Amino acid sequence: MKHLLWLLLWIVLFGSCKGNADTKGMESDATTLASKIKIGWNLGNSLEAIGGETAWGNPAATQELIDLVKENGFNAVRIPCNWHSGYIDNETTCTIDPEWLARVSEVVDYCVNRDMYAIINIHWDGGWLDENPTYEMQKEVNRKLALLWTQIATHFCNYDEHLLFAGTNEVHVSGIYDNKLVTPENHEVQQSFNQTFVDAVRATGGKNVYRNLVIQAYNTNIELAVNHLKMPNDIVPNRLMVEIHFYDPYDYTLGKTTLYWGWPYKALGVSHWGQEEHVDTVFAALKKRFADNGIPVILGEYGVDYKARVDEDMVYSRVYWLEYVTRTAKVNGIVPFYWDNGNIGVSEVPDQFAIFDRHNVKVFDQPAIEGLQRAASSAVYPF
């Protein structure tokens, strides 16, 4: 209680945007806003790239690209962002380059200009945040996290509810992905990051008092979210969402050895796990834990590597996965955002997720887009 009273006093006295809380354009709580998002798309491997927006092979984002995304049925864009590596003056003050703040604003505007929703976050960002959920690093990471989110939230404070903030990304101890190796320390520290994020944003005042915010479970893992995630304290009710990611089964979505998925393709060889029943089970668990309690879930990333197109079954098995996951997500109160990193075609590295050709600003994978839109249009949220 003392913590909340102090934060409210801080907002009134020192809020950086407009001081007093501003509800104009911020009427939708988390559930209402989630219900407005049909399906989202990721502008991946762009604004989070280390070395500049085009460092990872994608062209600079344009209004024309976002128009193409909108025309193909998506009404929200997740914009992964790097704010630290190459964009701050020094590690002490962490002052963000104003030109970079302006560039991210420009990309956000591409979305909101088309009446689309946008999510900005602090992504991998060189790993200073994503890879350090430990007691040893907790104080320093939280210090920098508060400095960065105070600046980001202040800069974007006049945007209405079309803009959401997401605190972190896939926070995990570097190299450790086995859930059995995750410790209570890791959960506690990650959840302190969530609290720091919420407190920093709310303290800037104005519209940010009511902005819908997205917090993450450890490594955005579904099992760990259901069993261990504790929601941060917030000075306003019903303005928080939870983010998870989904790439099951990994040997199919992120590998080259398993080429088919789902019961229609079982005879061709599918993974021994992660089929339809698995999707049903884990998404239903998320619904029971979060959506049924007024907390929508953002499926911030999901997708399947393009793979070699050996036969038509391979093409439509991938479409079947995309449709099934999208539809099952929505009926369980989970808002889907397809992961598109801009990588086109077939590669030995399983990292080809593009459905749009960003260089030529045109559709690249029409069957995938049609499958995503069929599922998004037919599925109904439970709220």
* pLDDT on residue 349: 67
277 is catalytic: no
Q: Is residue 383 one of the residues assigned to a domain?
A: no
* pLDDT on residue 27: 97
- Within a 10 A sphere around the Cβ of 53, how many other Cβ atoms? 20
Helix (H/G/I), strand (E/B), else coil: 264: helix
Taking the CA atoms of 89, 142, 297 and 123 in sequence, report the sign of the dihedral they define.
positive
Range of the domain at 123: 2-378
Angle CA(43)–CA(378)–CA(275) in degrees, nearest 5? Answer: 75
Q: How many whole angstroms separate alpha carbon 229 and alpha carbon 308?
A: 38
Q: Is residue 239 one of the residues assigned to a domain?
A: yes
254 closest CA partner among 157, 181, 162, 353: 353
- Alpha helices by DSSP H, 75-174: 98-112, 135-155
Q: Is 144 left (phi over 0), alpha (psi -120 to 50) or beta?
A: alpha
Query: How far from chain centre, in Å, is Cα 316?
Result: 26
Q: Is residue 302 one of the residues assigned to a domain?
A: yes
Q: How many domains does the chain divide into?
A: 1
* pLDDT on residue 18: 59
301 is catalytic: yes
Does residue 305 contact residue 355 with C-beta atoms inside 8 Å?
no
Taking the CA atoms of 165, 332, 289 and 189 in sequence, report the sign of the dihedral they define.
negative
Q: Is residue 343 one of the residues assigned to a domain?
A: yes
* pLDDT on residue 12: 41
Q: Which of 53, 131, 301, 323 is catalytic?
A: 301
176 closest CA partner among 165, 190, 166: 190
* pLDDT on residue 140: 98
Q: Give the CATH number, domain containing residue 215.
A: 3.20.20.80
Q: Is residue 203 one of the residues assigned to a domain?
A: yes
* pLDDT on residue 76: 99
Cα–Cα distance list, 2 to 5, 7, 206 (Å): 5, 9, 22
Q: Is residue 101 classed exposed, middle or buried when 0-12, 13-18 and 19+ CB atoms within 10 A define those classes?
A: middle
Q: What are phi and psi of 142, to 5 degrees?
A: -65, -35
Does residue 269 contact residue 258 with C-beta atoms inside 8 Å?
yes
Helix (H/G/I), strand (E/B), else coil: 76: strand
Q: Is residue 171 classed exposed, middle or buried when 0-12, 13-18 and 19+ CB atoms within 10 A define those classes?
A: buried
**Per-residue burial over 184-220, b = 16 or more CB atoms within 10 Å of its CB, e = otherwise:** eebbebbbbbbbbbbbbbbbbbbbbbbbbbbbbbbbb
Residues β-bridged to residue 7: none
Rg for the chain, CA atoms, rounded: 20
* pLDDT on residue 257: 86
The pTM of this model reads: 0.94
pLDDT in tens, the chain (383 residues): 333 343 343 344 334 575 688 999 999 999 999 999 999 999 999 999 999 999 999 999 999 999 999 999 999 999 999 999 999 999 999 999 999 999 999 999 999 999 999 999 999 989 999 999 999 999 999 999 999 999 999 999 999 999 999 999 999 998 888 999 999 999 999 999 999 999 999 999 999 999 999 999 999 999 999 999 999 999 999 999 999 999 999 999 998 889 999 999 999 999 999 999 999 999 999 999 999 999 999 999 999 998 766 789 999 999 999 999 999 999 999 999 999 999 997 666 668 999 999 999 999 999 999 999 999 999 999 99
Q: Is residue 172 one of the residues assigned to a domain?
A: yes
Which tokens in the block code for residue 43? 């502008």
Beta strands in the chain (DSSP E): 40-42, 76-79, 117-121, 163-166, 213-216, 240-246, 297-302, 334-338, 356-357, 362-363
Q: How many whole angstroms separate alpha carbon 136 and alpha carbon 125?
A: 19
Q: Which of 48, 53, 170, 323 is catalytic?
A: 170
Length of the chain measured in residues: 383
Residues 6+ apart with CB under 8 A from 88: 94, 95, 96, 97, 148
Q: Is residue 214 one of the residues assigned to a domain?
A: yes
Residues 6+ apart with CB under 8 A from 92: none
Place of tokens 């025309």: 71
